[in-house]
Amino acid sequence: MENQDKKKPREKSIRALMELEWEIINELQDKLKDQDLTTHEYTATARALALHVNNLNKLYDKSQGVTDYEEQSLGDFIVHFKQPLIRERREDLRIWKKRLSLRRY
């Protein structure tokens, strides 16, 4: 019983933080629509937006607890992909490696 009492305030605080992150994200999105931003300001705003979206994603993970992906191994997860998709990705990787090896540093 005591464990459940401790969990409820944490869930409320996480939800409050999530709402705050959503407000910040909406403000940053509105700021990105401004045509008067310089390239530097636009880049800084986009980085801040990415940071807050990442924070929101982490808060969602904390609020939901264990997901299905954490219970599966990587092999079990990959088995469900279709073969044509796997072949495509394998070909993309081969081309990427070839281009990377041709670069001179």
| Percent of residues, the chain, with pLDDT higher than 90 | 22
Per the prediction, the chain carries an average pLDDT of: 78
Q: What is the pLDDT of residues 14-63, one digit of tens each?
A: 888 889 999 999 999 999 888 888 889 989 999 999 999 999 888 888 87
| Greater model confidence, 13 or 41 | 41
State the amino acid at position 9 in one-letter form.
P
pLDDT of residue 34: 86
pLDDT of residue 20: 92
CB-based contact 28:49 (threshold 8 Å): yes
pLDDT of residue 84: 76
Question: What confidence category does residue 66 fall into, taking pLDDT thresholds of 50, 70 and 90?
Answer: very low
CB-based contact 45:28 (threshold 8 Å): yes
